[in-house]
């Protein structure tokens, strides 16, 4: 029986001879076609089967997509691991002086970059390390790139400040230590080793304005590089801070000291007065003073002597929690590769996965210096906290400073701050009186506080009125305001 179009042709078999005894019977006319119930049923079940298949397909689609995404992640992870191995092989060849082998590994690394997503953390950090290796193996005609214009550097610094919790953690923790150290003091003098845009100080000025018993008089000495001709960047920052201090009724004075290097600053340039509670602040600066040049004393020694000479009530130090000052290039390269991979991952989390090209450009300068610089030319010489403890604390090789523990209040508030300004995965931990900011348990930045070890330092007389000493730096900016 053939089915088609929902009906089928129908014919009675040929009539047989009528049985005897029956009259002829006239039957009603037969239809030429009758509905094909079997065909309708077949079409119905075919449609139902199609619907069921579609539903099953839709239910299976998320599982398939998840499996596909997992497979792609595995492929990208494998490509990332291979890329890391190629970069480390290139660095090993560089250390061994094998230029040809290093060049071959670098070419393979450039090819492997295509298999890694440029939006992933390892993809973006590998681009910077590959570029740095290229610069080391095939340096441009000029020995070193000119420093970026001051405006560009200030822009990148500000974007790095906004992109993650690192500088916010540094400023907040240092300010908390300063507030506790100068509690009850009527004359406070802060010496900032790197004023930059003055981003650290508005919150401290506002906190001092709310201090029970009234705010102290505040002097801020900001150190920074000389300004381009026709400009005074240090003074501009001081004017903005003075306007803020005036608005919250804090007696404020500012002095800018221009210097290309911190070890060029002498104690007399700081004009510390008798009776002032002195606080010295260094955020991401001391590691640049560890150069192994030919001078009899390293720059860090001159700067720490200067710090000890002003007998600070507190010396706040924030540094990268890394070990990029190893003598072997491969060890230094490997440490830097994994450290900055963690930093880039944490930047992703802080930005909701969007990343920040300007913040990464700020870090790229550090990466290029660590990979390309050797000897006295290399400035970024990050060291871990335990080495800073040995260098700043007592003992034969130490600077003779006494540690000031950062208390539970600073820890609690730092955790709250990081929780407000960054994604999950960042953590603040206490480590022997110091605080560390980390990413999934790996410390990235450390904060510590110190003070002059002498019992009779001049900042102990917090309520005394002292006259200011004379003297001036080669370049300076002075601003004062009163409420």
In this prediction, residues 27-42 reach a mean pLDDT of 46
- For the segment 438-450, the average pLDDT, to the nearest whole number, is 95
Is residue 11 assigned to a domain?
no
pLDDT at 481: 61
Any domain includes 338: yes
Assess whether 166 and 95 both reside in one domain. Answer: no
**189 vs 349: which has the higher pLDDT:** 189
Q: In terms of domains, do 431 and 355 share one?
A: no
Q: Let me know whether 178 and 256 are in one domain.
A: yes
Give the pLDDT score at 357. Answer: 86
Q: 52: pLDDT confidence band, cut at 50, 70 and 90?
A: low
Same domain, 416 and 464: yes
Q: Which of 378, 413, 448 corresponds to the end of one domain?
A: 378
pLDDT digits (tens, 9 = 90+) for 392-416: 986 545 677 999 999 888 999 999 9
Segment 299-313 shows an average pLDDT of 93
pLDDT band at 476 (very low <50, low <70, confident <90, very high): low
| Inside any domain, residue 80 | yes
Higher pLDDT, 201 or 153: 201
Prediction pTM value: 0.80
Would residue 463 count as lying in a domain?
yes
Please compute the mean of the pLDDT values over residues 380-402 and round it to a whole number.
83
pLDDT band at 6 (very low <50, low <70, confident <90, very high): very low
For the segment 211-234, what is each residue's pLDDT rounded down to a tens digit? 999 999 999 999 999 988 888 999
The pLDDT-based confidence of 45 (bands split at 50, 70, 90) is very low
Three-state secondary structure along the chain? CCCECCEEECCCCCCCCCCCCCCCCCCCCCCCEEECHHHHHHHHHHHHHHHHHHHHHHHHHHHHHHHHHHHHHHHHHHHHHHHHHHHHHHHHHHHHCCHHHHHHHHHHHHHHHHHCCCCCHHHHHHHHHHHHHHHHHCCCCCCCCCCCCHHHHHHHHHHHHHHCCHHHHHHHHHHHHHHHHCCCCCEEEEEECCCCCCCCHHHHHHHHHCCCCCCCEEEEEEEECCCCCCCCHHHHHHHHHHHHHHHCCCCEEEEEEECCCHHHCCHHHHCCCCCCEEEEEEECCHHHHCCCCCCCCCHHHHHHHHHHHCCCCEEEEEEECCCCCCCCHHHHHHHHHHHHHHHHHHHHHHCCCCCCHHHHHHHHHHHHHHHHCCHHHCCCCCCCHHHHHHHHCCCCCCCCEEECCCCHHHHHHHHHHHHHHCCCCEEEEEECCEEEEEECCEEEEEEEEEEECCCCCHHHCCCCCCCCCCCCCCCEEEEEECC
**Predicted local confidence at residue 96, as pLDDT:** 96
Mean pLDDT for the chain overall: 82
Residues 277 and 264 in one domain: yes
> How many domains does one find in the chain?
2
- Model confidence at 68, in pLDDT bands (50, 70, 90)? low
Mean pLDDT, range 44-51, rounded to an integer: 54
Q: Indicate whether 286 and 373 sit together in one domain.
A: no
- Structure confidence at residue 19 (pLDDT): 45
Q: Is residue 316 part of a domain?
A: yes
Q: Are 100 and 196 in a shared domain?
A: no
For residue 16, being part of any structural domain is answered with no
Same domain membership, residue 439 and residue 365: no
In a domain, 42, yes or no: no
On whether residue 85 sits in a domain, the answer given is yes
pLDDT of residue 149 exceeding 70: no
For the cut 80, the answer to whether the pLDDT of residue 423 exceeds it is no
Whether the per-residue pLDDT at 118 is higher than 80: the answer is no
Instruction: Work out the percent of the chain whose per-residue pLDDT is above 90.
Output: 56
Residue 102 domain boundaries? 70-143+327-378
> Is residue 39 scored above 80 in pLDDT?
no
User: Does one domain contain both 273 and 292?
Assistant: yes
380 pLDDT exceeds 80? yes
Do 305 and 397 have their domain in common?
yes
pLDDT of residue 62: 67
Asked if the model's pLDDT at residue 305 lies above 80, the reply is yes
Give the model confidence (pLDDT) of 268-299 as tens digits. 999 999 999 999 999 999 999 997 766 667 89
Check whether residue 355 and residue 386 sit in a common domain.
no
* Domain stops at, among 378, 395, 414: 378
236: domain CATH number? 3.40.50.150
Is there a single domain that holds both residue 290 and residue 393? yes
């Amino acid at each position: 029986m053939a089915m088609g179009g929902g009906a089928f042709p129908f014919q009675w078999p040929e009539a047989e001879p009528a049985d005897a005894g029956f009259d002829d019977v006239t039957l009603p006319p037969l239809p030429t076609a009758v509905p094909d119930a079997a065909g309708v049923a077949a079409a119905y079940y075919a449609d139902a089967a199609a619907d069921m298949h579609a539903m099953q397909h839709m239910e299976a689609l998320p599982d398939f997509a998840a499996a596909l995404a997992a497979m792609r992640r595995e492929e990208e992870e494998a490509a990332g691991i291979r890329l890391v191995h190629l970069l480390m092989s290139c660095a090993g060849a560089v250390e061994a002086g094998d230029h040809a082998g290093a060049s071959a590994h670098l070419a393979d690394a450039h090819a492997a970059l295509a298999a890694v997503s440029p939006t992933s953390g390892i993809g973006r950090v590998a681009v910077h390390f590959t570029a740095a290796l290229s610069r080391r193996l095939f340096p441009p005609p000029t020995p070193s790139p000119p420093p970026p214009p001051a405006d560009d550097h200030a822009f990148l610094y500000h974007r790095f400040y906004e992109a993650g919790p690192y500088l916010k953690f540094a400023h907040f923790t240092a300010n908390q230590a300063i507030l506790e150290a100068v509690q009850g003091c009527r004359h406070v003098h802060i010496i900032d080793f790197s004023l930059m845009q003055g981003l650290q100080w508005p919150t401290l000025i506002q906190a001092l304005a709310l201090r029970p018993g009234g705010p102290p008089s505040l002097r801020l000495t900001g150190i920074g590089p000389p300004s381009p001709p026709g400009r005074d960047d240090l003074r501009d920052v001081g004017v903005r801070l003075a306007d803020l201090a005036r608005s919250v009724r804090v007696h404020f004075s500012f002095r800018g000291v221009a210097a290309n290097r911190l070890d060029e600053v002498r104690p007399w340039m700081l004009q510390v007065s008798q009776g002032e509670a002195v606080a010295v602040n260094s955020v991401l600066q001391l590691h640049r003073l560890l150069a192994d040049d030919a001078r009899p004393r390293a720059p860090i020694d001159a700067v720490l002597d200067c710090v000890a000479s002003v007998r600070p009530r507190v010396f706040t130090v924030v540094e990268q929690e890394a070990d990029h000052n190893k003598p072997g290039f491969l060890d230094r390269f490997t440490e830097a590769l994994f450290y900055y991979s963690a930093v880039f991952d944490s930047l992703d989390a802080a930005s909701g996965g969007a990343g920040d090209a300007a913040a990464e450009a700020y870090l790229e300068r550090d990466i290029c210096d660590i990979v390309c610089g050797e000897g006295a030319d290399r400035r970024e010489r990050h060291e871990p906290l335990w080495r800073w403890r040995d260098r700043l604390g007592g003992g034969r090789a130490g600077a003779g400073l006494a540690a000031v523990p950062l208390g539970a209040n600073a820890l609690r508030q730092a955790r709250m701050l990081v929780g407000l300004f960054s994604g999950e995965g960042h953590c603040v931990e206490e480590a022997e009186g110091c605080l560390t900011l980390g990413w999934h348990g790996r410390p990235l930045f450390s904060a510590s506080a110190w003070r002059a070890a002498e019992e009779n330092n001049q900042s102990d007389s917090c309520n005394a009125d002292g006259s200011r000493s004379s003297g001036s730096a080669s370049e300076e900016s002075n601003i004062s305001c009163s409420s």
